[in-house]
Amino acid sequence: MATILVVDDERAMREFLTVLLEKQGHHVIAAPDGEQALEIVARQPPDLVISDVRMPKVDGIGLLTGIREKHPHLPVIMITAYASSDSTIQAMRLGADDYITKPFRIDEIRLVVEKALAKARTRPHGQASRPAVMEEAQLTGIIGRSPKMIELYKLISRVAGLDSTILITGESGTGKELVARTVHYASPRSDRSFLAINCGAIPEQLLESELFGHVKGSFTGAVSHKAGLFEVANRGTVLLDEIAEMSPGLQVKLLRFLQWRTVRRVGGTEDLEVDVRLIAATNRDLAKAIVDGAFREDLFYRLNVIPIPLPPLRERTEDIPLLANSLLAQCVLHQRRGPTSISPEAMEILMRHRWPGNVRELENVIERAVALETSDQLTAMSLPVEIREAPDQGERLGRASIPFPKEGIDLDVTVATIEKGLMRQALERSGWVQKRAADLLKISFRSFRHKAKKYGITKAGRDA
């Protein structure tokens, strides 16, 4: 989960912390004093440093000072015998993130470590030392190592350094704002503002004022001049979430902004140039909204310069254990109590659920289960009954698609019909690219090609 540098002149303490942290899934590097620790940090900064205060050569205060000079955002936890000692107070003033007092409890160490790592994920990052995109994704809260997520990281890596407008699409709860933040923090604009606004949560007149600003007296309540988000975020990034909810009148003004990169405050006459990278996001089908007359086609093309579609959780089920365990750790950290692991039975149920609310739904389920669980392991009985008793995907598909007549059915013919139908659906969804269709069905390309030939499914005639 993280690379942690443990610094202590006592060998027994280094070994104890190494074993404890490795059991939590972290990679641990150990050093006997601050001098060696500074050399390690200079070669490859870890995600977290845990250091004793009293050590020979370079002590903990000297180590902390050296780290803060070169790596101001690297989290550091100090180990001390007395919380009220002068050295502990000095360490906190120099920017230590937290401290642990001896003798300490194992639960305390876990909580302090997770708290420091969680805090580090939300910190802004300087332009000079931006980590790789996957690390940026983890810092902003995106979790996943499935093939779909790896492709997402690659796409972000290719487009983050550009100034082109991005349109992020995906179902509710898939993490559209997290992706937008990742793009920002992986870009050359990372040392500037990232501002997000939900276009569906603010009335039209107020939304216009929020985006473009207003001059004094332009409307009732405008008692002073106010800069809009585009001005405030100059040289930074603005996320317009739920862009499909924007009114037609405001869509015209946004289109003008995208064309000329100037803003005019409500009630004003002066055009102000701004340099902003715009990211839009929506969970709606904009193509349908265009047909329905609810969204401007010309604005869509201005926004859809670089599309980033996000996969729903049901299409990356292999990420569920990683997500569930991470969410569990966060809940335990916030509540300062709860289970430390998830039982195999509970994890199987989580893997089986379709998650229409995606990661947000999973987060709510884990939080509820942690609140209800009384043992040290999250069990199936702590999960909501509608998730525990839900049929798995195969059973649900069978009930929805296969009526069972009284006289019975021909099983081979029925199975072949269903298989052929699912293959056609996968091909239609993948643009009739067999390799992608095979991936959707979780079978090999060779097997898919054999079945397509067997059922006479061809791209030219759809069916032979």
pLDDT at 460: 52
Contact predicate 456/449, CB 8 Å: no
One domain for residues 301 and 323:
no
At which of 81, 104, 123 does a domain end? 123
Question: How much is the pLDDT for 400?
Answer: 47
Domain holding 100: CATH number?
Answer: 3.40.50.2300
pLDDT tens per residue across span 161-196: 889 999 999 999 999 999 999 999 888 888 788 899
- CATH number for position 426: 1.10.10.60
CA distances from 447 to 93, 323, 344, 450 (A): 63, 31, 31, 5
Specify the number of domains making up the chain.
4
Average pLDDT over residues 8-17: 90
Contact 58, 38 (CB under 8 A): yes
pLDDT value of position 39:
92
Mean predicted lDDT score pLDDT of the chain: 84
Residue 135: name the closest of 168, 160, 170, 113 by CA: 160
- For 357-408, the pLDDT digits (tens) are 999 999 999 999 999 998 999 999 999 998 887 655 554 554 445 666 667 7
Q: Which domain holds residue 42?
A: 3-123
76-80 and 48-52 beta bridge pairing: parallel
Judge whether 59 and 66 are in contact, CB under 8 Å: no
Same domain, 26 and 157: no
Q: Is the pLDDT of residue 147 over 70?
A: yes
The mean-pLDDT minimum among 67-76, 93-102, 132-141, 431-440 falls in 132-141
Handedness of CA 12, 13, 19, 22 (dihedral sign): negative
Given the structure tokens 């190592």, which residue do they identify? 145
Decide which of 68, 101, 123 is a domain's last residue: 123
Encode pLDDT of 73-132 as tens digits. 888 998 877 544 566 656 665 677 777 877 777 777 887 888 788 767 655 443 333 445
Residue at token pair 């397509």: 452
pLDDT tens for residues 189-215? 887 888 999 998 888 878 998 899 888
The last residue of one of the domains, among 360, 388, 416, is 388
Residue 282: pLDDT over 90: yes
Considering the domain architecture, whether residues 175 and 285 belong to the same structural domain is answered as yes
Judged by average pLDDT, the poorest of 118-122, 332-336, 448-452, 460-464 is 460-464
Tell me the mean pLDDT in the region 284-306: 93
Residues 341 and 298 occupy one common structural domain:
no
Of 54-58, 127-131, 270-274, 409-413, give the range with the top mean pLDDT. 270-274
pLDDT band at 228 (very low <50, low <70, confident <90, very high): confident
Report how far residue 335's alpha carbon sits from residue 327's, in angstroms, rounded to the nearest whole number. Answer: 12
pLDDT recorded at residue 140: 66
What is the reported pTM? 0.59
User: Could you tell me if 150 and 293 lie in one domain?
Assistant: yes
Least confident of 52-61, 219-228, 272-281: 219-228
Share of the chain above pLDDT 70, in %: 87
